[in-house]
Chain A
């Protein structure tokens, strides 16, 4: 085909363009740098705490560091994620964007891909600084790196929820919902505890249903092993990544379904 006349780009180009713009929006927002600066401060503070405390310095650096990566990663996913789709609708930029030859699912995928890139850069930076600290203390960076990868997978799941919630509700409710999923995802053992106390019947079924819907984020948690330099089975890592990816994909499919039905008033 010759270049004259309008054409439609392929799905990869469309999703890529929307992702690039989303990434640009995030990195031009001060909040991201504030969060990153805070995270690096906390990671660095591990060294001081290690000096003051009796115990294994390396473990303290790793423990505090991985917690910081996880928490600040979560805050980034929530802050950047929940306003992603909402802002486009609220500021009505979606009115011109969706009139392009763009499928609604490509819009959702592009937004998510942009957010995932932000999280990749963010956790990557925090992880690099933490690994450097561990190496400086004479430790091996391997287990920490695996811990960081698993945190990133967890954040991908959380980010998918942020995009889902922000496609049908306001940022405050979306943020509350996203944090709730994160918390519940780390307490999935408590569903069993709760179930034993509930009467037979509907309540127990509801409890089972809630457990099935909420992702089991503990499956992705290898922090204890990383901190104590215990062996982490490759199969566990692989299964965790597969579980997280499948979960995130399912949530995104749901977000696309919600978004495809929407009117833009």
Chain B
């Protein structure tokens, strides 16, 4: 139903570089450097990296809003400047903003026309998609009265309007409350279940960790990692953090991370020493507050990648 040939990359970047002029034309920021990346049809692809890593610049080149200085970008096998390449694309920009003189319904009706949806079908899709993003009953609310969260939901609605095969979403969960983040996550998962491809960017790792099939990590405009999520992070436990009360720390194994009042936070390297610690606490008449196995998460990977010597800006 999706119509993408499996194995074919829906988005392809080859040696792409993009630089911006600095303020008042002074200096130059290389936002993306020599990026080669392919996104295959189906599944959820996360483009991750800290703020300023070049995620937005990369996505804007994919959808034809920016031209690369060097390299080639192909969207469904065509240059993104070709409107035919964008027929099966839905896009949500970062912190979107829409026409404040329109109502939600008028706005989606306008974009539905640009998608070639005919009269009754357009009306049906507008209703359907408003329901999908949790805005049923808000059809007539003027956009100037919409909260940031509502605008974000409308942004998703316009991206989904024509049931595209590829969704490119720039920080879709930013600026949303926990409930909103969950809704967006569920929506992305539903798109995958319907056989579509979702490519989204995020600087928040927890957003990606639970739902991405593949990730690419950008730091300073360059690709640091691309692959299956399980290859990016090992699920191995690195150490355990244990909160203990009612015992003096000197009598326990492990190193003290911090202590506040009664409670001490201890670090033990493995399961064997965790057992020793628990026994020692019980014998000393204390209590275990919590045990937290610390795994190698994307967070750690990030910190490693951004760590020392990860300069990102090239001045010229």
| Interface residues of A, Cβ cutoff 8 Å to B | 3, 5-9, 13-14, 16-18, 20-21, 24-25, 28-29, 91-93, 95-103, 263-265
Given contacts A9-B113, A96-B92, A100-B83, 13 further A-B contacts (CB under 8 A): A9-B115, A14-B113, A17-B110, A91-B97, A95-B65, A95-B91, A95-B96, A98-B65, A99-B65, A100-B86, A101-B87, A103-B83, A264-B66
- Are B93 and A6 in contact (CB-based, < 8 A)? no
Q: How far is the CB of B158 from chain A (nearest CB, A)?
A: 6
Asked if B116 is at the interface of the complex by the 8 Å CB criterion, the answer is yes
* A99-B89 contact given A8-B84, A14-B114, A25-B101, CB 8 Å threshold: yes
Q: Which residues of B contact A13 (CB under 8 A)?
A: 113, 116
* A3-B121 contact given A9-B114, A13-B116, CB 8 Å threshold: yes
Q: Which residues of B contact A6 (CB under 8 A)?
A: 87-88, 115-116, 162-165
- Are A97 and B114 in contact (CB-based, < 8 A)? yes
- Are B113 and A17 in contact (CB-based, < 8 A)? yes
- In Å, the complex CA distance between A20 and B155 comes to 21
Q: How far is the CB of B3 from chain A (nearest CB, A)?
A: 7
- In Å, the complex CA distance between A5 and B125 comes to 12
Q: How far is the CB of A20 from chain B (nearest CB, A)?
A: 8
* A99-B115 contact given A5-B163, A93-B98, CB 8 Å threshold: no
- In Å, the complex CA distance between A107 and B83 comes to 12
- In Å, the complex CA distance between A25 and B97 comes to 15
Give the residue name and chain of the B residue nearest to A18 (CB): B114
Partner of B114, one of A17, A28, A263: A17
Partner of A263, one of B65, B116, B165: B65
Give the residue name and chain of the B residue nearest to A95 (CB): B93
Q: Which residues of A contact B89 (CB under 8 A)?
A: 99
Q: How far is the CB of B109 from chain A (nearest CB, A)?
A: 9
Q: How far is the CB of B133 from chain A (nearest CB, A)?
A: 15
The 10 closest A-B pairs by CB, nearest first: A9-B116, A17-B113, A101-B83, A6-B162, A100-B114, A7-B116, A95-B93, A99-B91, A264-B65, A28-B101
- Are B110 and A21 in contact (CB-based, < 8 A)? yes
Interface string of B255-277 (1 = CB under 8 A from A): 00000000000000000000000
- Are B66 and A100 in contact (CB-based, < 8 A)? no
Q: List 28 A-B contacts (CB under 8 A).
A: A3-B121, A5-B163, A6-B88, A6-B162, A8-B116, A9-B113, A9-B115, A9-B116, A16-B113, A17-B110, A21-B110, A25-B99, A29-B101, A92-B93, A92-B97, A93-B99, A95-B96, A96-B155, A98-B65, A99-B64, A100-B115, A101-B83, A101-B87, A101-B114, A103-B83, A264-B65, A264-B66, A265-B66
Give the residue name and chain of the A residue nearest to B90 (CB): A99
- Are A99 and B96 in contact (CB-based, < 8 A)? no
B58-84 CB contacts (< 8 Å) to partner A = 60, 63-67, 83-84
Give the residue name and chain of the B residue nearest to A260 (CB): B81
Asked if B20 is at the interface of the complex by the 8 Å CB criterion, the answer is yes
Q: Which residues of B contact A25 (CB under 8 A)?
A: 99, 101
- Are A93 and B83 in contact (CB-based, < 8 A)? no
Q: Which residues of B contact A92 (CB under 8 A)?
A: 93, 96-97
- Are B111 and A100 in contact (CB-based, < 8 A)? yes
Q: Which of B3, B20, B114, B158 lies at the interface centre, i.e. has the most chain A CB atoms within 10 A of its CB?
A: B114
Partner of A96, one of B3, B84, B96, B106: B96
- Are A24 and B101 in contact (CB-based, < 8 A)? yes
- In Å, the complex CA distance between A101 and B111 comes to 11
- Are A101 and B84 in contact (CB-based, < 8 A)? yes
- In Å, the complex CA distance between A3 and B88 comes to 14
Asked if B135 is at the interface of the complex by the 8 Å CB criterion, the answer is no
Q: How far is the CB of A193 from chain B (nearest CB, A)?
A: 39
Q: Which of B3, B63, B113 lies at the interface centre, i.e. has the most chain A CB atoms within 10 A of its CB?
A: B113
Asked if B37 is at the interface of the complex by the 8 Å CB criterion, the answer is no
Q: Which residues of B contact A100 (CB under 8 A)?
A: 83, 86, 111, 114-115
Q: How far is the CB of B70 from chain A (nearest CB, A)?
A: 14
- In Å, the complex CA distance between A29 and B115 comes to 27
- In Å, the complex CA distance between A28 and B101 comes to 7
Q: How far is the CB of A218 from chain B (nearest CB, A)?
A: 38
Q: How far is the CB of B165 from chain A (nearest CB, A)?
A: 8
- Are A8 and B121 in contact (CB-based, < 8 A)? no
Asked if B30 is at the interface of the complex by the 8 Å CB criterion, the answer is no
- Are B98 and A5 in contact (CB-based, < 8 A)? no
- In Å, the complex CA distance between A5 and B2 comes to 9
Q: Which residues of B contact A9 (CB under 8 A)?
A: 113-116
- In Å, the complex CA distance between A146 and B106 comes to 37
Give the residue name and chain of the B residue nearest to A3 (CB): B121
- Are B3 and A5 in contact (CB-based, < 8 A)? yes
- Are B155 and A8 in contact (CB-based, < 8 A)? no
Q: Which residues of B contact A99 (CB under 8 A)?
A: 63-65, 86, 89, 91
- In Å, the complex CA distance between A209 and B162 comes to 50
B143-180 CB contacts (< 8 Å) to partner A = 155, 158, 162-165
